[in-house]
Chain A
């Protein structure tokens, strides 16, 4: 969504490239529960006089930025970005929902959207002896934790288990500590362009300042944002499931004991359809003895969005119809799954809420892959650190 000052809205989003085929709306997952019709917005936004009115429409906040519309568009357009552009008009005028305002102000002041102090960003590391990266020391894998994993007690376990596992596998790695700041994924989708530009500039300088061979992101949101919206980032970026799958392949990682469970993997939008990482998380799950891996009908690039992205953590839809996360959990139950495995902190939070809302807590768990692997011991005999 790069733009120059003089571009019109139409030029910026290539609105004239749209042929109104309807593949965007035909695939949009939220249309079953909201009035959002992205094709209409793409059509109407051509009329510059209508922009202000369109920016006031409540539906523009229903988009979860899952990118299904972009994946399906035969012209290679990104209809969702038209909605984000409309959100920007509102944000730039200062008229945002209070929850959005507070999240954005928190990113600006403290480097995270959760209104937590920067000074407590590394509290999750307590008792773990985590190596902190130094600009003058080379490191193979520089980890980027994510604000949600760093601060939310429910998902801190992702980072904590990863550290334990890395130690066992003899991997060279370091974390950023309190210097880490929000990647801006949700700032971008909430439409705060100025803040996002500032974040990209600051983070690029920070990350390029380390002698790291690669950056490994724990959240698919940071992963995809770094990959696609940081043009000057000099290091390759991986998702942690890619690193672990690589260690498996190299024989540097194996798990002791088994888990006789039926597991269904839910492809996070930011990992799967936006970054093409489908197989690595599955490989990790299959590496555990006894695991029976089953598949959703809507899997891989057709995966059903959990509605956690696109800034939706801070915006409630007006719709009272069943949440997509609940639909997803019903599907998992129909498959007879004991565990819904995910690889994204937002998916954990939304899908787990759905399990609770539906009252399936006794029969089903939602876990992040790292949470699950942490419950197994790393097999030092089978593991062969180089």
Chain B
């Protein structure tokens, strides 16, 4: 089983106040800590578990700065075999389609059975990269996967749907799975393991190395134009509806209808 696992280095916005740069075009990330995207961490664990059960190898692919190598080394310490880090300022990294094109460029031409990604990144929250990647690689995909069963030449994926439903699909390999959090319990990468993982290959490449024309993945190629970012104003308004149940229901219904909410 040859697996590629795509991971992303994202800011943790839960512990520091989110501020914008003066131009309002980017988030000021100087006070954030960065780490592997949560769902990607589960994808790493799942790929290592599949490898432990069925043999093969896991290659980590990530687009990110030098600092993200800590995250990549942790994935290698957990059992992934080698890694490719792509760094190129020309990539329009805010556009998931451009990101998928770059990842596809890194994987295409190599033999693979499975590509795992997280189902969604916590920075932009698009949940698009994985499925776009499948399209670009020309292979089937399943998104929001909560359970994986490897069969002969196929994979059975349990997908989490709205309302708590599970959909079970069978895909022929090779395939792309986008992994939902909670599918497993990611292991800890002890420091001795991280040091040991320094011996594993971590290739750093740019668009030219991958043979990708910059014009296909840069801001000009992207259909997304980032116009403005702003912090939503905090508003609070509460109205206590008085009366007997019938009156309350009528008043509530009136408010909802007038507000265009139903």
Contact = CB atoms under 8 A, between A and B. Distances in A.
Nearest to A191: B190
Contact of A195 (B30, B185, B186, B191): B191
B12 interface: yes
A194 B190 contact: yes
A115 B33 CA distance: 9
A194 B15 contact: no
B191 A120 contact: no
Nearest to B33: A117
Given A109-B70, A194-B195, A119 B188 contact: no
Contact of A91 (B35, B190, B195): B190
Nearest to A98: B185
Contacts of A108: 191
Contacts of A109: 33, 35, 70
Given A94-B78, A120-B31, A105 B188 contact: yes
What does DSSP make chain A's interface, helix, strand, loop or mixed?
A: helix
29 contacts: A92-B190, A92-B192, A94-B78, A94-B187, A94-B189, A94-B190, A95-B187, A95-B188, A96-B188, A98-B186, A105-B188, A105-B189, A108-B191, A115-B12, A116-B15, A116-B33, A117-B12, A117-B15, A117-B16, A117-B31, A117-B33, A118-B33, A119-B33, A192-B190, A194-B190, A194-B191, A194-B192, A194-B193, A194-B195
Interface residues of B, number: 21
B191 A115 contact: no
Contacts of B190: 91-92, 94, 192, 194-195
Contacts of A98: 185-186
Contacts of A198: 191
Contacts of B193: 92, 94, 194
Contacts of A119: 16, 30-33
Interface in B172-215: 185-193, 195
A21 to B, nearest CB: 35
Nearest to A198: B191
Contacts of A195: 190-191
Interface string B23-55: 000000011110100000000000000000000
A323 interface: no
Interface of B: 12, 15-16, 30-33, 35, 70, 74, 78, 185-193, 195
Contacts of A115: 12, 15, 33
Interface string A90-127: 01101110101100110011100001111110000000
A104 B74 CA distance: 12
Contacts of B188: 91, 94-96, 100-101, 104-105
Contacts of A101: 186-188
Contacts of B31: 117, 119-120
A98 B182 CA distance: 12
Given A94-B190, A100-B188, 7 more contacts: A95-B187, A115-B33, A117-B15, A118-B33, A194-B190, A195-B190, A195-B191
A108 B30 CA distance: 19
A110 B33 CA distance: 7
A88 B190 CA distance: 10
A198 B195 CA distance: 11
Interface string A181-198: 000000000001111011
